[in-house]
Each structure stands twice: as C-alpha cells, then as structure tokens.
Amino acid sequence: VYIADLDAITGKPPNSAVITQLATEHPHLRFIVDRGLEAHTQVADLLEHSNIDLVVASETLVSIDEYRVLRARLPAHRCLLSLDRNGEVLLGPPALFADSQLWPTQVIHMNLALVGSDSGPDWCGLIALTQRAAGRDVIAAGGVRDDADLQRLAQMDVAAVLVGTALHDGRIDGA
C-alpha cells in the first residue's frame, strides 16, 4: 500500500498515528510511505514497524549531500527512491538522475504531470529508466489507465505500479 502523506509533504503535521495504526492492524501488508523526507525529518516512529518502508523523493531534495544524509539514516532494504519529474522537467538534484550508482534497489519513476491525467504512463521515461536500472526494481507511477497499460508495463519488466485514479473510477479492479 503506497501512502503519500500529503499533509507532511506540504509542511503540515504528518499522519504518523494513522499510518502506524494501519501498519499494526495489517502486519501482512507492506506500506510504502512518502512523507516528503528531508535530512532533518524524524522517521523513527515509522521505522519501528517492519512493514513500513520509506520513500526519498527527489523533488524534496536540495542537494546530493541531503540525499546521502537521508540514505545513511534509513535501512537500505527499507528505502525507495522516487525520481520525480513534471513532464520533461527533472525535479531534484540532476546528479541523482544521472548516477544510477546512487540509487537503492527500488526506484519509482514518478511523472507528476501524468498523475490522474488518463493519458498513459511516461513510456519513454520508463524505458530509459529500466535500461539504466541494472537489476533494480522499477516502479511506475503516473498515468496508468487500464489493464492494457498494466500488461505493457509487465512486459517492460516494471516490478510494480502505483495506481490511483483508475482504481477509484473502476477501470482497474482489485483483481
């Protein structure tokens, strides 16, 4: 279950209590939490739950140094990197996009321009990222419309997909 804590991302108090309650009540589920981490963000409350992994989103980072501080604070197996873009514009330190050696084992390709757009995933961006991922799991985010998109992403060896709008409006069901 992917949770974007929009309150925390926009500078309001995080929804830690709700998230940790969900993790406690559903220990068989994995929760991937994006709360707009910065170098000083407190995460101990979430890391106490072994079924919560944390996203480091490139759009919130001001430098590679900040990224390195965050990576050092998070267990490697519980850290995902979201390489964020808005259309063709890369959001975050350019070096983070350029140097795949900096990436953890799971990388999200997030194109914010496509979230909720019903226009399909960023196929070109995903192809480029999967070619550079070198054995890492690539997770697609933004624009997934239907089962055909899911099938094409599976053929591209995308490991997982973040789907919102198409689930909400019923074009894709839980099955």
Asked if residue 113 lies in contact with residue 87, where contact means CB atoms within 8 angstroms, the answer is yes
Asked if residue 36 lies in contact with residue 57, where contact means CB atoms within 8 angstroms, the answer is yes
CA distance 130 to 37: 25
Q: How far is CA 55 from CA 76, 84, 110, 117, in A?
A: 11, 11, 12, 23
**DSSP symbol at 30:** -
Q: Which residue has the tokens 């991302």?
A: 9
Nearest to residue 61, comparing CAs of 91, 90, 34, 97?
91
Q: Hey, what are 106's tokens?
A: 């799971």
* Each residue's pLDDT tens digit, 20-50: 999 999 999 999 999 999 888 889 999 999 9
Q: Which residue has the tokens 């900096």?
A: 102
* Each residue's pLDDT tens digit, 39-93: 888 899 999 999 999 999 999 999 999 999 999 999 999 999 999 999 999 999 9
Q: Hey, what are 109's tokens?
A: 């390709």
What's residue 24's pLDDT? 97
Helices (runs of H) and strands (runs of E) counted in the chain: 8, 8
Whether the full predicted model's pTM is greater than 0.95, yes or no, is: no
pLDDT mean over 136-162: 93
Backbone phi, psi, residue 152, to 5°? -65, -40
What's residue 168's pLDDT? 85
What's residue 139's pLDDT? 97
Give me the helices (H) in the chain, please.
Answer: 6-9, 16-25, 44-47, 64-73, 94-98, 123-132, 147-155, 165-168
- Does residue 133 carry a pLDDT above 90? yes
Please state which of the ranges 6-20, 71-85, 113-127 shows the lowest mean pLDDT.
113-127
- Does residue 100 carry a pLDDT above 90? yes
